[in-house]
């Protein structure tokens, strides 16, 4: 949690991304990740994986596959500041695609 986030506004939500947004292999064209969203003092939002930093699923040949051994996700790749518009288009209370980090 960064200094400029307000922990009392922490919500567990999904961020819905496309393959071009991050450097991951075997995730399909679009995927979701579970994590924490908080409001920031500058009237924006912040998404962080928090304790949900393990990848349990991948997409192999177009199909969902549970990994034999979970892979750690680089939290810096998925921690991001969001505007109100980005929060409305990228964040949801249900995954829009395969969620890689939730069993």
Q: Can you tell me the mean pLDDT for 53-60?
A: 94
Residues 6 or more apart whose CB falls under 8 angstroms from that of 7 comprise 1, 38
**Out of 7-11, 20-24, 52-56, 93-97, which region has the weakest mean confidence (pLDDT)?**
7-11
Q: Can you tell me the mean pLDDT for 13-41?
A: 87
For the stretch 69-73, contacts whose Cβ atoms lie closer than 8 Å and that sit 24 or more positions apart, written own/partner, are: 73/24, 73/33, 73/49, 73/100, 73/101
């Amino acid at each position: 949690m960064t200094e400029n986030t307000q922990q009392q506004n922490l919500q567990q939500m999904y961020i819905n991304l496309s393959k071009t947004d991050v450097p991951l292999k075997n995730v399909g064209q679009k995927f979701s990740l579970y994590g924490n969203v908080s409001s920031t003092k500058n009237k924006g939002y912040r998404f962080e994986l928090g304790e949900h930093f393990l990848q349990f699923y991948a997409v192999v040949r177009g199909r969902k596959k549970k990994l034999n051994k979970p892979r750690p996700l680089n939290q810096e790749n998925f921690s991001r500041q969001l505007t109100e518009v980005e929060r409305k288009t990228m964040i949801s209370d249900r995954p829009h695609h395969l969620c890689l980090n939730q069993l």
